[in-house]
Structure 1
Amino acid sequence: MKLDKYTVGKRYGKALFELAIENEAADAVYQELLTIREICKEIPDLGNILTDVRLEGAEKKAIMDAFTGGFDGIVKNFLLVVFEYNRSDDLPFMIDEFERRYDEMNKVAHGTVTTAVPLSEEKKHELEAKVADVFGYQKASLTPIVDESILGGVIVEADHQVIDGSLASQLNGLRAALSKK
């Protein structure tokens, strides 16, 4: 049975996270994975190249040696296992799963904040602090989204929860209440 990329990513990411915790190296491994994520963004076809059946084994190995040259220990071994099992194109999913577990361990919430106008950095940081407090996390990292259709206020989505304080939502609620009378 062939597994989808998300399932593969979850399994490998979980295994790497558990190994990193066991070796008390979660922070170091996470930093190296961030570097790998950047490399994957700079060379988006890297995973496809390393799994391409048209390339000779020696060619792939040369590319892999260049790729893993800057890493050592757990991360290098992880990359070699991923390469050996022909899963290099699933690396971003593996990194995402590791990061999800790492953030959960460090009580960091990720989410979005939607506003009608762009937020200043100061307001964004203020909102992140409030969201972290409301959801019981030590820190929140919110990606700003501008959507003029909400008219005003904010919509925060984090930790699989939504706080809708938008003016559009409030007006729709008022309309619904008035139409019932």
Structure 2
Amino acid sequence: MADDSQASNVGGRYAQALFDLAKDQNQVAAVEADLKSLKAALADSRDLQILLNSPAFDAEAKRRGLTAIGAQAKFNATTQKFLGLLAVNGRASALSAVIAAFERLSAEARGAVSAQVTTAVPLSAAQAQGVAQALRQALGKDPEIETRVDPAILGGIKVRVGSRLFDASLKSKLDSLKFALKRA
């Protein structure tokens, strides 16, 4: 199985090709909407994750599965063809990386920046608005925020913008304290 950086590099190349094609066809918004739907399906479906990542399924089985999903969801023709190509080329396991890279390219083209915000509990509307405002001031661009809830961080907030990570989570602070105590 490929490591994360290799999948990310492959994902970036495929995403750039898809973005260029969608841009030429004036279909960026439609393809991005399809990929967001697929991202949600990937997060919710263990079976889909297994299909894409398991070596037990060959490229043709993955192509059939992705094609069926695309047809059932009535994805744009460009998206459907791309999913088939990705599977046939043996790169179905890089789909998550492709989606993430495509979202970054699309946001960049709109002059926006995407940010992933992780908290231990769901943010209230006021808190989410405060985070958006703080990111807008810090980045000088409108952020497109994707929120995640991860109780493992215990409290606080983690914000990832591109390759930069701001980690003010309680877990991170406790880990730092633990490390400092071990060194003392």
Say yes or no: TM over 0.5: yes
Kindly tell me: are residues 81 and 61 of structure 1, through their superposed partners in 2, closer, same or farther at Cα, counting changes over 3 Å?
A: closer
Give TM-score, length-normalised by structure 2.
Answer: 0.66
* Aligned Cα root-mean-square deviation (Å): 3.7
2:15–2:99 CA contact under 8 A, matched in 1: yes
Aligned to 1:89: 93
Unaligned runs of 5+ in 2: 174-184
Measured in 2, the distance between the counterparts of 1:85 and 1:163 equals 37
Report deviation, 1:139: 3.0
Q: Give yes or no for the alignment of 1:12 onto 2:18.
A: no
Structure with the greater alpha carbon radius of gyration:
1
Number of residue pairs aligned between Structure 1 and Structure 2: 160
Measured in 1, the distance between the counterparts of 2:118 and 2:53 equals 37
Unaligned runs of 5+ in 1: 170-181
Aligned to 1:31: 33
User: Aligned runs of 1:62-141 on 2, under 5 Å?
Assistant: 62-69=64-71, 70-106=74-110, 107-112=112-117, 120-141=124-145
Report deviation, 1:50: 5.2
Kindly tell me: are residues 80 and 125 of structure 1, through their superposed partners in 2, closer, same or farther at Cα, counting changes over 3 Å?
A: same
Over the matched positions of the two proteins, sequence identity in percent amounts to: 23
**2:19 alignment partner AA:** F
Kindly tell me: are residues 136 and 59 of structure 1, through their superposed partners in 2, closer, same or farther at Cα, counting changes over 3 Å?
A: closer
2:63–2:84 CA contact under 8 A, matched in 1: no
Give TM-score, length-normalised by structure 1.
Answer: 0.67
2:35–2:99 CA contact under 8 A, matched in 1: yes
Q: Which shifted more, 89-98 or 39-48?
A: 39-48
